[in-house]
Structure 1
């Protein structure tokens, strides 16, 4: 195993700067996801770590070794691609064994290592088949097997589940989580799917414009987004961001926007009167009762809950209700906002978080399950 460190890493393509100066410290044995929209720099970052691209400046370390100019094959890493990249003319066994053959491992030892890896991934019955005879999920396991058999210091995974259907993606997420728990290896995972990042990661590196916006455990990214970009990107349904004004009366703060006025609680020292934004996750709203007059715009019935979009003046908000609470577009209802669940940000597209930090969680080793229940239930 090994830790991975980026220190002031920059990558330019001609005059375009894809990564302007990345500092990132991934701990040994950690599962880290690089998460962000298309073009945010996450794949370029992974390719620099793999040795498929070389940094323009800065330093990349794997363990104690600087690898800026080290060839991919000499970095002791294994990469799983989105396209699986299996050799079509080889059997499953031959695909898995190929890295060992290139390293000169004896045939008997190769056979033993392939058999052990296939058993771990439950693909032993497939060893004699060719890739074209496999389903997408089976091909993904073979690609994982080819990486596993090398026993590298670091695993790199470039959107490996994006070509699978929704049901199989969910199953393979569980497989990868169990695999990481068994192996304890450092894994760096690129995805644009926040559910994958939330469910699988020890920490998430949220990126935008080549810059690291936040690097924290999933619970912290969801509950304490570092800035307006992270707040709007993380969460399903997403956080509603409302532009307005922060006002102060002695020690008390309020946030005002057209049709909405709520107490602004627990603001940090960086809060100032004037333009700001309030962020509301769906669970912050109570729809059907309250002093705020709202109009139903849309109701999405998912079975276990309803996703309800309401309008307050010109502001559209998204909330959740119980499945028996069904309205029609145009219905007028009362609504309330829980002041304890509001987020505040400085004005501007990437305005910094203004809330005071939450108290440390009682159990630092807690999993992301409570947060995921909030996000997806």
Structure 2
């Protein structure tokens, strides 16, 4: 078995219930060996339960979990060849950094000289060599997090499991640790399964992202796929900051109709009268010219850009992103348009993405 095959992880029809509460529903997920995969979603979506089942800290109610082709449903945590990094770091306060990192090896009976050599190697990789004699209380939050990573890394497991490890750090340190984790994954080449509610972490670090909601896998794809081709309304609204604008309308005479926005279909048209939702990312609104009109409600300068809210007919509000120099003033009325290739269309009843493309009509329809 190759190193890549050793790190393959597969969930097949996995369900986890706690009494009458179902945390994970019929999860099918195949993670390639060596991938960095994030489990992303809001609190209570089932991502941490999924990670704990993979670690052996919880057992599935039904379905199978396999690592490297071996079903591990009944395998004890210590026999799965995985290492978990917790949100709380879980360092032993009475031990030095070196002793904390070496502890998993000592527990497995690895000889002292080999333990020391492996600790030195891991400490060098994580830039902890100068900190080996210190106790956890003498370390910063970022240093403690690296020690927790070192304790996992020293075992050279097939799979690394990380449960929101950066959530206790400040914004600057989180950004630094994201870079360190990306580089660490590149160097060790092992499978990383990372739980987070922070979409920026998932988008910047992952090879693929598993978006979860209410125990159900909504979409599994690359960061580009979940952003540019969201599978449903939940993914569309959850991925992106500011969030995607969602306008409710209807299919009529081959196009999408809304009190302000009227667009023609370039591909197969949904049936007339069908309730639809048009998705429009804030950066895909064009200002100054276009067939539609809006009143500027609010402008928020952020330095490098402006975030503005526009009131349009039908009682909807559009959130847009504009250049820092764009002349935007609250209360003014302006014209706007859309970047047609970047529009998204969803069925309002099922929430699922529709493949029919939408485009601006040749004769600008109009507006308010």
TM range (shorter): over 0.9
Equivalent positions of 1:347-366 (< 5 A) are: 347-348=348-349, 351-356=351-356
Kindly indicate whether residue 282 of structure 2 is the aligned counterpart of residue 282 of structure 1: yes
Q: In the TM superposition, what is the alpha-carbon distance from 1:308 to its structure 2 partner? A: 1.3
Q: Does the 8 Å CA contact 1:301/1:307 hold for their aligned counterparts? A: yes
Q: Distance in 1 between matches of 2:25 and 2:351?
A: 19
SS in 2 for 1:345: strand
Equivalent positions of 1:79-118 (< 5 A) are: 79-118=84-123
Equivalent positions of 1:175-254 (< 5 A) are: 175-248=180-253, 253-254=254-255
What is residue 3 of structure 2 aligned with on the other side?
A: none
Q: In the TM superposition, what is the alpha-carbon distance from 1:265 to its structure 2 partner? A: 3.2
What is residue 321 of structure 2 aligned with on the other side?
A: 320
Equivalent positions of 1:1-377 (< 5 A) are: 1-248=6-253, 253-267=254-268, 271-273=270-272, 274-313=274-313, 314-348=315-349, 351-356=351-356
Q: Distance in 2 between matches of 1:246 and 1:294?
A: 23
Q: Distance in 2 between matches of 1:265 and 1:37?
A: 35
SS in 1 for 2:24: strand
SS in 1 for 2:178: helix
Q: Distance in 2 between matches of 1:104 and 1:222?
A: 47
Q: In the TM superposition, what is the alpha-carbon distance from 1:326 to its structure 2 partner? A: 3.6
Q: In the TM superposition, what is the alpha-carbon distance from 1:328 to its structure 2 partner? A: 2.5
Deviations 1:191-238 (A, max 9, x none): 001111111111100000101100011111111100111111101111
SS in 2 for 1:132: helix
Q: In the TM superposition, what is the alpha-carbon distance from 1:293 to its structure 2 partner? A: 1.2
Q: In the TM superposition, what is the alpha-carbon distance from 1:30 to its structure 2 partner? A: 0.7
SS in 2 for 1:219: helix
What is residue 370 of structure 1 aligned with on the other side?
A: none
SS in 2 for 1:294: strand
State the aligned residue count.
350
How high is the TM-score relative to the length of structure 2? Answer: 0.93
Q: In the TM superposition, what is the alpha-carbon distance from 1:356 to its structure 2 partner? A: 5.0
Q: Distance in 2 between matches of 1:257 and 1:19?
A: 37
Q: Distance in 2 between matches of 1:345 and 1:97?
A: 52
Q: In the TM superposition, what is the alpha-carbon distance from 1:177 to its structure 2 partner? A: 0.6
Q: Does the 8 Å CA contact 2:102/2:154 hold for their aligned counterparts? A: yes
Structure 1's 204 and 303: CA in aligned 2 closer, same or farther, altered over 3 A? same
Aligned CA RMSD, in angstroms, stands at 1.3
Q: Does the 8 Å CA contact 1:79/1:157 hold for their aligned counterparts? A: yes
What is residue 366 of structure 1 aligned with on the other side?
A: none
What are structure 2's unaligned runs of at least 5 residues?
1-5, 358-368
Bigger mean CA offset, 1-10 vs 45-54: 1-10
Deviations 1:265-302 (A, max 9, x none): 345x7x33311100000122112322211011111111
Q: Distance in 2 between matches of 1:330 and 1:212?
A: 42
Q: Distance in 2 between matches of 1:7 and 1:82?
A: 27
